[in-house]
Structure 1
Amino acid sequence: MGERGSPNDPAPARTIHMPTGPSFMTVTLLDAILFAIMLVSALLAMVRGFSREILSVVSWLVAAAAAFFFYKPLTPYAAEYIASDTVAMVAAAAAIFLVVLIIVSFITLRIADFIIDSRIGALDRTLGFIFGAVRGLLLVVVAMLFFNWLAPENQPDWIAGARSKPFLDNLGQQLVAALPDNPEEVILDSIRGPQDADGVPEGTATPGEPTSIEGVIEGTDTPAQPAN
């Protein structure tokens, strides 16, 4: 029979194998930045309340929609004081946006204050904390998308080796996949409006066509015929 070790003999040392390679990532500055942004955003949203945060977003959306749909009637008035048509159009849209934003924000602020002071105020603040954390996460995801686009290779170790890097990249890819194939064209098409088969925006007069009812009656918009 083999010899048994004495109970007083030291136990054999165990070898601990630490994982290596890209699968083993440590907490880096990027993880700390992500945590800090999410925490600050969550605390701010908790203080303001979920209803105020949502209504604030609604106010911006309403102001943007008002500027998008109503800038054309105001552009001629702005053009009386601004020489450039493009600058006049931008000024008209900006004026509508600011006025509507101030009015809608005043209304939504009163609604949010009423909700916070009600019995569901605690729930409103809890939901605000969650909303703020998600908002902070999305901010970092979008920032990481731009960083990956600007520097796809040779990224600093505190970014490439962060624990949150794969998670942020995965969320960023999902956001990009949710966008249309050509977002620039979609935005430009919505601004230009519907077009006819020739690619000319509907309502745009072609050469030789009158541009108004007065032009049809008086013939002022009809181009002059060259003399023979």
Structure 2
Amino acid sequence: MTSIDWGILAVLAISAALSLRRGFVKEALSLVSWIAAFVIARVFSGNLATLLVDYIDTPSARWVVAFIILFAGTVAIGAMINHLVVEMIRITGLSSTDRVFGMVFGLVRGLLILVAIVYGLQYTAVPKDPWWQDSTLMPHLEILADWARKVLPAATDHVMSYTK
């Protein structure tokens, strides 16, 4: 195994360890709250920006402030809900199960991060480098990245349009 293989294993181990410590419910609810925060901020920032006309003159600054307020507020509410749910799990005695599922979640998250990196690097000359070619684990990640490319053709076409 090469140093890149050890790096791949380190990413997986760190992601799994962090999720083992936090638990599945906390990880999943955190992810959901961040996604919800982005969607809510993106959809409603224009509405909130109109309420800030008397306070902020520049339209772009109004939109940015509205986006930040909505994003931060949604993440804060998500964190409160997350805390309540995690406490309910702790009280019911399901913490060990939650942590084991959290570790699995962390492994999957680490794998998705690695696949996303490989996916992007495949559009460069990096895969021709010796360290890439000598890797034991990189061919497995390339298979997953190729699969993702087939599953996400619209996203690939969009990215590739910038290289033309």
**2: distance between equivalents of 1:94 and 1:133?**
31
Residue 176 of structure 1 aligns with an amino acid whose one-letter code is R
Shift of 1:88: 2.3
**Could you tell me how far 1:84 is from its partner in structure 2?**
3.5
- 2:85 is matched with which residue? 111
For structure 1, list consecutive stretches of 5 or more residues without a partner in the other structure.
1-26, 186-228
Higher RCO, 1 vs 2 (CA within 8 Å, ≥6 residues apart): 2
User: 2:44 aligned with 1:70, yes or no?
Assistant: yes
Distance apart, 1:122 and its partner CA: 1.4
* Distance in 2 between residues matched to 1:74 and 1:184, nearest whole Å: 34
Instruction: Give the match for residue 126 of structure 1.
Output: 100
1:224 corresponds to = none
1:116/1:124 contact within 8 Å kept: no
Q: Does the alignment pair 1:181 with 2:157?
A: no
- Which residue in the other structure is 1:145 paired with? 119
Hey, what does 1:162 align to over in structure 2?
135
C-alpha contact 1:49 1:125 (8 A) present in aligned 2: yes
Rounded to whole Å, the distance in 1 between the matches of 2:106 and 2:127 is: 31
User: Structure 2: how far apart are the matches of 1:70 and 1:174?
Assistant: 35
Q: What are the residue-to-residue correspondences of 1:77-116 with 2, within 5 Å?
A: 77-116=51-90
For the 8 Å contact 2:116–2:145, the answer to whether it is kept is yes
Q: What is the CA RMSD across the aligned residues, in angstroms?
A: 2.2
Match of 1:6 in 2: none
Asked which structure has the greater CA Rg, the reply is 1
Q: Tell which deviates more after alignment, 146-155 or 92-101.
A: 146-155
Distance between the aligned counterparts of 1:33 and 1:67, measured in 2? 35
- SS of the residue corresponding to residue 149 of structure 1 reads coil
How big is the shift at 1:119? 2.6
Q: How does 1:33-44 map onto structure 2 within 5 Å?
A: 33-44=7-18
CA contact (8 A) 1:28 1:159 kept: no
The TM-score, its normalising length taken from structure 1, stands at: 0.62
Matched with 1:55 is: 29
Hey, which of these two has a bigger chunk of helix by percent?
2
